Amino acid sequence: MTISKKPQAPSCKIRSNGTQVKQVNQFKYLGYMLTSDGKCETEIRKRIITSKTTFKKLSPLMTNRNIHMDTEIRVLKAYVWSVLIYGCECWTMNNTLKKKIEAAEMWFIRRILKVSWKDKKTNDEVLDMANTGRSLYSTIRRRQMKFTGHIYRARGIEHLAMTGKINGKKSRGRQRTTYVDSLNTWANLEQHTRSQFMRSSCERQIWKTMTVNACSRHGT
């Protein structure tokens, strides 16, 4: 599989033991779906569907009125969220994907409370009923910050992959949002440049404080 942002991925001919390896547009590696466009929308959609299937299997427990709401939320985070956010450390998030994540979070809470769309209750009202707030998206970002800090401090091949540059000219039009720039925007609200953001990861306490402050700003 060749990863490219072009609509049509370049043809790549690779042989192994005299046999040509078939080129595909996507394949699963360690449970993570890799696609030729290098984006993570397909993986996130798959994760949301899988987590909803897990939730439905637990529905007798999750919708039991005899179980306290706090307990159901803890079960949700332990057994359903863990399925949804598997491999989230590698996701490059944007506003569209953020909305998908937040919509999935509300889908779970509404079904725990048995609130139908016909009830015409806003998300804020549903969150008040559950005595909780949005935290799934910030959980993903927190894990990404922890992962990124580890990668930067390790100075291994992963660090080179995240910080290296490719020779050549940029394509015309608006450039894609990179993983680091997306995380920097969330964590710092663009107060630091990309290089300053990367250097901050070398100091564990500064990085930890930056993560906590970002989560506080975003309401978690």
User: Which stretches of 88-155 are DSSP H helices?
Assistant: 95-113, 123-130, 136-154
Q: What is the pTM of this model?
A: 0.85
Tokens of 18: 């005299």
Give 125-148 pLDDT, tens digit per residue.
Answer: 999 999 999 999 999 999 999 999
- The count of C-alpha atoms lying within 13 angstroms of the C-alpha of 151, restricted to the half-sphere facing its C-beta, is 17
81 class by beta-carbon count within 10 Å (0-12 exposed, 13-18 middle, 19+ buried): buried
Tokens of 27: 């394949």
Give 50-98 pLDDT, tens digit per residue.
Answer: 999 999 999 999 988 899 999 999 999 999 999 999 999 989 998 999 9
Question: pLDDT band for position 2 (50/70/90)?
Answer: low
Question: pLDDT band for position 177 (50/70/90)?
Answer: confident
Please tell me the distance from the alpha carbon of residue 53 to that of residue 83, in angstroms, as a whole number. Answer: 10
Could you tell me which residues come within 8 angstroms of residue 177 by beta carbon, excluding any fewer than 6 positions away?
92, 94
Per-residue pLDDT, averaged over 178-207, amounts to: 82
Distance of CA 114 to the CA centre of its chain: 27
For residues 132 and 73, the answer to whether their CB atoms sit within 8 Å is yes
Give 105-125 pLDDT, tens digit per residue.
Answer: 999 999 999 998 888 899 999
Please tell me the distance from the alpha carbon of residue 141 to that of residue 101, in angstroms, as a whole number. Answer: 12
Please tell me the distance from the alpha carbon of residue 68 to that of residue 117, in angstroms, as a whole number. Answer: 23
**Which amino acid belongs to residue 50?**
T
